[in-house]
Structure 1
Amino acid sequence: MLSAYAADSHRYWARGLMAHLETIDWTLLELAPRHFQWRVRGNPLSFMSEHDATLSQSFDLVVATSLVDLATLIGLYPHLGRARRVVYFHENQFAYPLGQDQRTRIEPLMVNLYSALAADRVLFNSRWNRDSFFDGVAGFLKKMPERVMPTRLEALKTRSEILPVPLWSLPSSVSIRRDAPNRIIWNHRWEYDKNPEDFFAALEMLSDSGHEFELVVMGQVFRNAPDVFEQARSRLARHITCWGHQTRERYLEALGKGGIVVSTAWHEFQGLAVMEAVQQGCVPLVPERLCFPEYYAPQYRYDGGRDALIERLKRWLDSPESRPGPPDIGAWTWPQMTARYRAQLQPLA
């Protein structure tokens, strides 16, 4: 298993895969999630530098995340081309929203494309991910100086499958109390693509209008978090009961107290953080875009921007009885999905 940018969600998936497909004798090679632009283009050199002896061995199966430059690795280690090759897309770079002062870079797009073309099977965590990838590739190639559309890319559509990242079963020690209905939860990465500006602006409006609520802000924190987090921490201080990155145990404990888990994301291919919160008994409130319509019924979605979010939160805070209960997401757990993964990775078995 090759993971070129082992962020939390990638590690969660990889360890789940190894634990639940235990009949495979796994070898895991992963690179730390830092220096993104270098990682996405330089990962074959890093893998070669750190794991040359391992990569020189023979393998029956290669499972790679989409940021792995699989095509280049096969060029460097030709015997890997004889293994069954599966690429898993947690996200695709063709649908990644650009931040302020960012511009489109061709390298991540080409790595995604070449890795998919080098695979026998391509797995996506949502229909939105798959469709935005193939649509993005078509639009990208139309802009290039030469018209190219490999026939293998069309064939690849028939060799793709939608397989979400499954949820681990809850530890028996986890307590789900759901006794804090007016808690509002953010548990996403602290980055611009999760659109924290709309989230905190909505909560400031609720606070200014006299609405009482508790605020829990968790998730993966990076060195250069958007300024809005520290601004919100000051402005919403009286509402905050939990703030910052937590241990896994503390994170699950906080989710287990219940509340409303909110997403305002501009970029989400599955929304694992929301799913984890729902698994713990929280009620999701997600936008009418991206992957969310695939996973959540209309009563959990707000159609529009910040104003629509504020109106729904007002209604749910003022009239708790109007709030739906948590949806059943048992279908997305490992016990329910192991067989589907085994069919993709061990077809001969």
Structure 2
Amino acid sequence: MSVLLVEAFYGGSHKQLVDLLQERVDDCVTYTLPAKKWHWRARTAALYFMQAIPASPSYRVLFASSVLNLAELVALRPDLASLKKILYFHENQLIYPVRKSQERDFQYGYNQILSCLVADVVVFNSAFNMHSFLSSISTFMKTMPDHRPKGLEQLIGPKCRVLHFPIQFADVTRFLPEHKLLLRQSQTPHSSSSSSEDSPDLSEITKASSTASAREPPNEPPVKKQSKAQEPQQGANVEDTERQPASRQCADQEPEKPRPLHIVWPHRWEHDKDPQLFFQTLLKLSEQELNFEVSVLGETFTDVPDIFAEAKEQLVSHIRHWGFMPSKEDYLRVLCQADVVVSTAKHEFFGVAMLEAVHCGCYPLCPKALVYPEIFPGSYLYSTPEQLCKRLRGFCKHPQLVRQHVVQVNTGAFSWDALGEEYRSLLTAGSSSSSS
């Protein structure tokens, strides 16, 4: 047990990472606390682990998330101070959103800065996370009334590196509807590229959705061209229907009405994910009598914003799934059934749920901010609530535009297969200079 994995908030992406490392990296031992009362975990976890972790001469590496005050732990346990200490940032408290500036507790960000100073390697799950942390240290410390330390970012910066969160993508083939299977089968090895040059401009899709009609569809719809055998049965326009074999339609048969657009929101039920914006947008679509279904997934914690109960009542006729799904298989099945996955986050340092949804064939719509421009081409980003509403409105009217679209995001780049060797190297005992 040369690798000591310590997680003070064992839930969500924190749990996923620890479990993956435990499974895929040899010689690990894990100590955790349940994912409850986050603020108390940040304040007191070091004292708990001081007693919970037995002394052992076989420890070589200590890996902990930034919820733990690493400085306190190594002070309380001097035997751990000599280990190669790795601090992993899923999120940082220097820019974590609070509803009112006076609500920000200085201690949480301060703990993270102290932890960085005693760590040998500081790892961030995205460049956005790293740059936002380092660039905010000086401003953050100015909230101290006097005797402010200087040059902390110069001390911490050389230790820092970006190593994306490794996702263990499941095989979801058995859950995919026919049109997603056809798209996946028709892809070339390069069609999952995240290159913006290959990605169709979403403005073109939006424009097409506003002008398309069964009478006169766009001449060059911005969707992947398919052979007749690959044309999806659902969401087809009149011309698509007319191209179907005679055995599947009669000359006087009305074209099949597309099933409603299925929108999924798979995020934590907390204010920083801005559920208010999401539900306000859906209510506008509903008021315009647009046809759509919605699945609201994600974990809930102690305080659930009131907007969820209100929206459930107001959108009852549109709801397909509502609430957290403990079964990962059921969760992935819903993602595979969905057409569009939406983020309205005011805080996101990586976004596992969005990438999992894209892996399941969902079309992503994300804010043009936070980590999203680092992962998603500009064609999937929106700048204002009005843009989000406009794009969803167009997709509600013409769901075939998303059902025939191959998403240009290389999810494989964020998989354990792509990142595993870097993590194994990171967790190899040695000097910090050789590993950073």
TM-score interval (norm. to shorter): over 0.9
Deviation of the 1:316 alpha carbon? 2.2
Query: In 1, Cα distance between the equivalents of 2:303 and 2:350?
Result: 24
Alignment of 1:340 with 2:431, yes or no, is no
Deviation of the 1:63 alpha carbon? 0.2
Alignment of 1:315-334 (within 5 A): 315-323=394-402, 324-326=405-407, 327-334=409-416
Secondary structure, counterpart of 1:265 in structure 2: coil
Alignment of 1:133 with 2:142, yes or no, is no
Once the two structures are overlaid, the 10-residue window that deviates more, 166-175 or 2-11, is 166-175
Q: Which residue type is aligned with residue 78 of structure 1?
A: P
Alignment of 1:291 with 2:348, yes or no, is no
Deviation of the 1:172 alpha carbon? 6.4
Query: In 2, Cα distance between the equivalents of 1:286 and 1:173?
Result: 25
Secondary structure, counterpart of 2:104 in structure 1: coil
Q: Which residue type is aligned with residue 387 of structure 2?
A: A
Query: In 2, Cα distance between the equivalents of 1:96 and 1:132?
Result: 10
Query: In 2, Cα distance between the equivalents of 1:211 and 1:330?
Result: 35
Deviation of the 1:116 alpha carbon? 0.9
Per-residue CA shift, 1:68-114, capped at 9, x if unaligned?
Answer: 11111111111111111100000000011113696111110111111
Alignment of 1:7 with 2:11, yes or no, is yes
Alignment of 1:77 with 2:91, yes or no, is no
Deviation of the 1:173 alpha carbon? 7.2
Maintained 8 Å contact 1:58/1:79:
no
What are the ranges of 5 or more consecutive residues in structure 2 without an aligned counterpart?
A: 181-233, 235-258
Alignment of 1:29-108 (within 5 A): 29-49=31-51, 51-52=52-53, 54-55=54-55, 58-99=58-99, 103-108=103-108
Q: 1:328/1:173 Cα in 2 relative to 1: closer, same or farther (>3 Å)?
A: closer
Give the equivalent residue in structure 1 for 2:332: 252
Once the two structures are overlaid, the 10-residue window that deviates more, 82-91 or 309-318, is 309-318
Deviation of the 1:299 alpha carbon? 1.0
Q: Which residue type is aligned with residue 146 of structure 1?
A: H
Q: Which residue type is aligned with residue 32 of structure 1?
A: P
Query: In 2, Cα distance between the equivalents of 1:342 and 1:154?
Result: 27
Maintained 8 Å contact 1:66/1:112:
yes
Alignment of 1:18-33 (within 5 A): 18-21=22-25, 23=26, 25-33=27-35
Per-residue CA shift, 1:243-272, capped at 9, x if unaligned?
Answer: 101121211111122310100000100011
Maintained 8 Å contact 1:181/1:260:
no
Maintained 8 Å contact 1:96/1:267:
yes
Per-residue CA shift, 1:97-155, capped at 9, x if unaligned?
Answer: 1136961111101111111111110110111110111122111123321231246x414
Relative to the length of structure 1, the TM-score reads: 0.93
Give the equivalent residue in structure 1 for 2:117: 117
Query: In 1, Cα distance between the equivalents of 2:353 and 2:70?
Result: 28
Q: If you compute each CA radius of gyration, which structure gives the higher value, 1 or 2?
A: 2
Q: Which residue type is aligned with residue 44 of structure 1?
A: A
Deviation of the 1:181 alpha carbon? 7.2
Query: In 2, Cα distance between the equivalents of 1:229 and 1:143?
Result: 35
Alignment of 1:138-287 (within 5 A): 138-144=138-144, 145-150=146-151, 153-171=153-171, 174-177=174-177, 178=180, 182-246=261-325, 247-287=327-367
Query: In 1, Cα distance between the equivalents of 2:302 and 2:41?
Result: 17
Q: Once superposed, what is the RMSD of the aligned Cα atoms?
A: 2.0
Ranges of 4+ aligned residues in structure 1 off by more than 6 Å: none
Task: Tell me the percent identity.
Answer: 33
Query: In 2, Cα distance between the equivalents of 1:101 and 1:233?
Result: 30
Maintained 8 Å contact 1:64/1:86:
yes
Query: In 1, Cα distance between the equivalents of 2:7 and 2:413?
Result: 26
Deviation of the 1:347 alpha carbon? 6.4
Per-residue CA shift, 1:276-333, capped at 9, x if unaligned?
Answer: 11111111100001000000001111112x2111011112222345444223311110
Q: 1:171/1:85 Cα in 2 relative to 1: closer, same or farther (>3 Å)?
A: same
Relative to the length of structure 2, the TM-score reads: 0.75
Q: Which residue type is aligned with residue 250 of structure 1?
A: D
Maintained 8 Å contact 2:341/2:364:
yes
Deviation of the 1:219 alpha carbon? 0.5
Q: Which residue type is aligned with residue 7 of structure 1?
A: G
Maintained 8 Å contact 2:169/2:356:
no
Query: In 2, Cα distance between the equivalents of 1:141 and 1:101?
Result: 15
Per-residue CA shift, 1:194-225, capped at 9, x if unaligned?
Answer: 00000000000001101101110111012321
